[in-house]
């Protein structure tokens, strides 16, 4: 029996991803994004069971949170935050992330993070001492999730 081996070319390059944000009915291509990581965390409740010394766990819900890092080249999120400050109306948006590397046999995965809400934005920024480009990291939460397209199942070699 031969063991399957992962093909190096099937690894997905993160540089090949695409991301869009649907904000107030408008689709914003996030070509200036540097990185994104979103996590779903299950909430669990304790379930003590008679006759067992361990405490069982049962899923009782979930929460979504993430971080979007972008180059500091757009005023969009600062403008949305300014509108929130002025009107008290918060803003929510959907983030769609596509991972597809043409060298990989994994194909494409598309997920949507729904009802994203930013925790904070940088109001203004500069750094005269740095040689790096300015960027900003924005923490957010989301309360909906959908896998629109899944990766292919790999068979290995």
- Would the pLDDT of 2 be above 70? no
Place of tokens 């997920």: 111
pLDDT in tens, 15-56: 999 999 999 999 999 999 999 999 999 999 999 999 999 999
Q: What integer pLDDT is reported at residue 120 of this predicted model? A: 96
65, 80, 77, 74: which is closest to 116 by C-alpha? 65
- Gap between the Cα atoms of 6 and 58, Å rounded: 34
97, 106, 94: which is closest to 147 by C-alpha? 97
Please state the rounded mean pLDDT for residues 106-130: 95
Structural domains of the chain in order of their starting residue, each with its CATH number: 8-149 (2.30.110.40)
- Gap between the Cα atoms of 117 and 94, Å rounded: 9
Query: How does residue 3 score in pLDDT terms, banded at 50, 70 and 90?
Result: confident
């Amino acid at each position: 029996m031969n063991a399957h081996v992962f093909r190096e070319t099937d690894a997905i390059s993160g540089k090949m991803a695409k991301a869009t944000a649907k904000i107030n009915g408008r689709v914003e291509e996030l070509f200036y994004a540097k990185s994104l990581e979103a996590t779903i965390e299950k909430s669990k409740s304790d379930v003590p069971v008679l006759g067992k010394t361990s405490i069982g766990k049962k899923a009782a819900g979930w929460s979504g949170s993430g971080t979007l890092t972008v180059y500091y080249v757009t005023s969009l999120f600062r403008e949305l935050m300014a509108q929130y400050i002025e009107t008290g109306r918060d803003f929510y948006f959907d983030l769609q992330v596509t991972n597809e590397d043409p060298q990989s046999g994994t194909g494409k995965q598309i997920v949507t993070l729904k009802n994203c809400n930013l925790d904070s934005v940088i109001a203004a920024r500069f750094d005269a001492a740095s040689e790096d480009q300015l960027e900003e990291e924005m923490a957010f939460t989301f309360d909906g999730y959908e896998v629109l397209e899944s990766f292919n199942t790999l068979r290995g070699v």
